[in-house]
Each structure stands twice: as structure tokens, then as C-alpha cells.
Structure 1
């Protein structure tokens, strides 16, 4: 419902928004996991008037029956087209779904959308606007006084027109990430009936974010970035989609490797493990000069200035939306990074990434094509003697057959503590 509401609202305000755009103003209204995100951009002197108009339209919005039918069909068509997406996108979707405390599946969304009516959506709008907790960020050519005036205007319009009341602290839900037990390796398999390619998304969960562990993980990723592409994509020719990345959700971080290929998913999984096993020796044999080069490169990357006000705004809002409020994160991480030695990085690898690491938390998603020829991973490995060796004693995975049952049987990480305490603005 939230998705359809935002789509229909923007459609209804399309003409007004177009004229505002000619005057240098723009807005967007999107739904998030916990509510709505309203963004207003443009010339600061016209923003109060523009925001007032949007809020007044929002509080008095009536669903147009004809437009509802069009956008409902468009929304459901988008959900049904999920099957046509690339296999690696499916793998990432399933990884995110398994790790999230609560996330609706495509099938569940389709069933809900099919039952949606104009009356149900019209009833939903005032109900959702009747209880809100508002968190706002204003950045640019604006004073503290002007910011408070804008917020007072926002609250007054919502209170008078929608009867909005503040949510209780217990009603402000923040979702957490599933905690993979120490030393466990879970495997979830899905079938793709559209593409001939297979894909894997391998997630190594590295625990709650803090400055030291975050910097160590980013440094490790910085070191393996080029070799990952060079070895897995160029030399072993696994496919065009091969990359490693930093994954962060709900204050929990980890390393993610994504590969899409015509080779079997288990073979791709084995090649990723062989690559990480190989990187252990690469880091150990690395000279201090090489190590310092990677540290310096990461420092430069972290301290790179935002190219415009929108990039800076996005960085600040990321801290707010995650409720961490570490607005000086870059400088704090760089100060920590400069104290880290190569031995610290080796210790991090041995504790979280190595095949026998005590705190290794692995989730592998295998998306297998029903259209490709069946090949065995061990036969492919035997035919190529130039491949990196596999680590000894690769553990057997625990097969996830029911996602809901998997979540019921695993714990959740606590939420990260805010870096600073945020208090409600006094009247």
C-alpha cells in the first residue's frame, strides 16, 4: 500500500511538480521499510512555500480510481518481472531476505497487491498519517531558526489536517539482522527458469560495526578488490559479473562476493573459497611498503571530498537513517586506520574469513539455471591444473529449505549504539 500511495501521490502532483521544476524546485516521496522519506530540494527562499503545498496535498489526498488501476497493474507487473532479472540479482535478493529480520517476499507482495482496492488504500492513508515520529535533516543555506520554523509548520499541518500524534518510543520499530552462529555455513538454493547462467552470492558476516572492525574489513576489501577481478574474472574466466564488496545492514557488516557464470554454482563457490585462501598468503608475504600503499590508498578514498552538496547530504542522511549519528566517521576511521599494523589485518582474517576461523559466519546463495547443462564442480577443477588450490577441509553446509524456519531458529544482532545522543527539539 505504501508503494502505491507514493506512486499515486507523485502522479497527482505531477503538473505542479513540473512547474516547480521550472522554478528550480523538486521533491520526492518514497516509502522505506519503516515509513516514508520526503525530500525537498532547490532554492531555499521558495522551499517553505513548496513544502507547505506538498504537505497540504498529502494530508488531503484522495485516490483516483482510474489512476489506481493503472498503477496497481504497473506495480504488479514489476513484481512479476522479478523472474526475468539477472541471476546475480536473484542471489543478492535472497541473501538480503535471509539476513533481514522482516522482509516481505515477492510472492507475498503479489498476493497483497492483488487484494488491494481503492477503498482499502484510501483508508490506509489517514491511518498511517495519524501516528508519526518525524526525523528531519536540513542542509544548505538555512539557519537553525528557519529549520525550526519549517518543522513547526510541518507538525502544525499534520496535526490540524490529519490529527497526527507522536508515536511512543516503543512503537518506533527498528529492524535487526539475523545472526549466523559462530563457525556455521548455511546454503540456500534457488532455481532460475529464464536465464542459462548460474550465480552465487557469498556473504561472510563479520559482526557489529565498530570503528576498528569496520576499518579492518574495508582495508581487506581494498587489498582483494583488484586480485578478485584479475583472478576470478580474467584468469579463471568465470564470467563478466565478478566482484567483492562491503555489505552493511542494521549495523552489521560483512564481505560479499558475487559471481554470475555459465559454470555450476558449487564450482563458483569453490573458486571464491580458493581465492580467499590464496589471499591469506598474499597478505602474509606483502612487504611493509606494499601494505603502506594500500593503507594510504584507503585513507585517500575515505577522505575524498564530496563532489557536491547532494553527496554530502547523502552521507549525513545515511548516518541519520541508520541511527548511528557518527557525523565525523571519516576522520575517526582514518585516525584508526593509521594505527593498524599488518599483523592486525592477518588476525582479522584468521578470526573471520579463514576456512577454520572461529568467528566465521558464512551464507551462500546458489541460483541454479534449469536451462544449462549439468556439469560437476569437481570435474571442472580436475580439468584445469592451473587453478588456485582449494583450502583443506571445506566444511559441509547446513541446507536452508525453509526461510521462515531458518529465521525462527537463529538469533538477531543487537542494534548499534548511537555515536551521539539525539534529543527532541524543545518547543
Structure 2
């Protein structure tokens, strides 16, 4: 008698009030509702003062306040109509989200409706199976609201393999992996195998957890299209070109249409709802005030990162770390410091300026077909307070109608 009774109770948990309360299976994914524009609130959680590089002056109380304030802001962002909440995986004193999945878990507990998006995790810095397990836990904690974002740092083939593995084990794909990927403790179970088939526990709530990858070039977009992955794109900040974008909006749209075609050739229906434009977002009283905030924030982030790298190498940040980086031709560091502030105004993917200027830029991108926007409000180096002011200005001053429509969609899902 114990077996059937336990099974009945389990079905009650899986199909009953608990899942209704947590929204299991009922949350609209970012890629759904192709006709509606959706916004994602993104914050770097920059430790203040911006670009602080002195570990002896670390203020734990200020750090804790920053975390708590960010969580409070995400609750408010959900109320304003942001469809998603996201943060990067950044290192060094310019950001307090070295392990963003910890904060994503906190977001799962504090929010109810918005999608929770890793934006992005650097897959090659982690064991991909461990990442998949963390993602599965967050999906369960959030009631099925997770969307996974992955970015490449390092070898392209290795990244694609890691992303395939994470996608496979989360989404129930019978995904073979090389035997060498398994830990030594598992080797006795696979002595006669060249490959192994893996899964993780817990299992995610969603039947398919959406996966996003950072993609901009023809090659990376083609890779994503063949696998049916969503893409983050558009953050075409080129320090060597004085802060301008690497490609125009028209060129990017052409690349994206090829992404759609390759997806269709491989059995995937992709559209602009599967594309999120990542945009530095600073709204201020005047255009130049906003542009200077972006330039100064970005420069302070590079300075902090340079000091962090110097310490990792055992050197003092005062020993010319930035000068050394600037001399390396492919780092773009020199370009960051030389880029004029108004270059960020000319960048079509940078939602930077007064409310009127930003509205015109946003309208141009929407007219070009973009439907999803990752608003880098607490953009690289900008203080958290400035980021939040921009996030609220986007909802209240720049695009209130679009946010109102998005909020109505969230309310319908909650109902």
C-alpha cells in the first residue's frame, strides 16, 4: 500500500497547487510572443567607488548592501515590466558577480514572474556538468524560469562541445561525450566505451531550457543556427574604432537573416524573437552627460581589470599593468582610453543619451526588426545607482508603452 500512496502524493506535488504557485510550465520564455518587444535588465554590480583596485580598502558592508540593493531592484524591475533579469560573469574589483549563479539562485527566491537569465557564463572556465547541475537547481528553485546564456573565452571547438554538453544534459538529449570527460571515479563503469551518455540531477522543471550564446560573426551565428540556439548579439563596441560598432545595423540584420536560413535548413524555426540585442544603456539629462558616464565607466572597468590581472601575475597594479596591456595590439585597451565620449552616441547599438535620443535609437532598432533587448543598465564600470536610474528611465520615460504591454503579458502569465 505504501507504494501507490506515495505515488499519489508525488503526482499531487508535480501537478497540483505547488506547481501552480511556482508557475511551473506556465512562464512565457523570452523567445515566445514574437510580436511583442521584451526587455532584460542587466547589471554588472560594479563595486563603488568605480574601478576600486585596493583590496585593503574592501568594504564588506558596502558589498553586502550592493547585493541586497540589486535584489530589491530586480523585484522592482519585474514590477516595471522587465521580462528578464540578468548579470554577467566578470572578475576583479569592478564587478561583484564572479559566480553569477549564486545570485541567480537568490533571484529565483526573490522574484515570481520574470525570466532569470545567465548573461553570460563562461563555459570553458568550469566543468560543464557542474554548470548544468547548477542550472538545473536554479530552474527548479525558480519554478521553471531559467534561461541559460553562455559565452566563449578560449578555443571555439572546446566551447561548442561544452555548450552542446550543457544543452544535452539539461534538455534530455541523449548526448554522447568522450570518455575522457568523465571523472576518474566513473572510469570503471565505462572501461569498454569510447563515449558515454550523461545526465544530471536534479532534472530541470522545463521540458526544454532555452540556451543563448553570445554570437556576432558569421561563423558563430552559423554554429548557433545549426543547433537551434538563441543568440545575444549587437554589442559591437570596437575600442580600436573609437567606440563605434564593428558592423552597422543593416549589416547585422543581413547576418541574422542568414542565421534564420541556416536554422531552417537544420530543422529550427528561428526569428528575431530568438535574437537579443545587447545594448549599453545610460539615460541622462543630456546626451554628453550620458556619453561621458559610459566612457568613464568603461575606462574604470578596464583599469580595475588591469590591476586584477597584475595581481594574479604577482605584480603590483602600480607597475604599469595598463601600459603593458595597451601595448598589446589586440587588447583594445588603448582604444578604450582614446575613444571620445560622443562615439558612444554614434554607436547605433548603444542606448546612450537623453530620453529623447535613446527613444529615437530604440525606435530605429525596433524598426529594423529587433524585438529583444538586453539593457546593460549597470554597464561595465558604471555605478549601480546610475544603472538603476537608467533602468527606471527606460521603463518610465523612454518606452512606457512597450513596458506597459510587457507588464500586461507578465500579469496574464501570473493569472
Give the TM-score category using the shorter length.
under 0.3
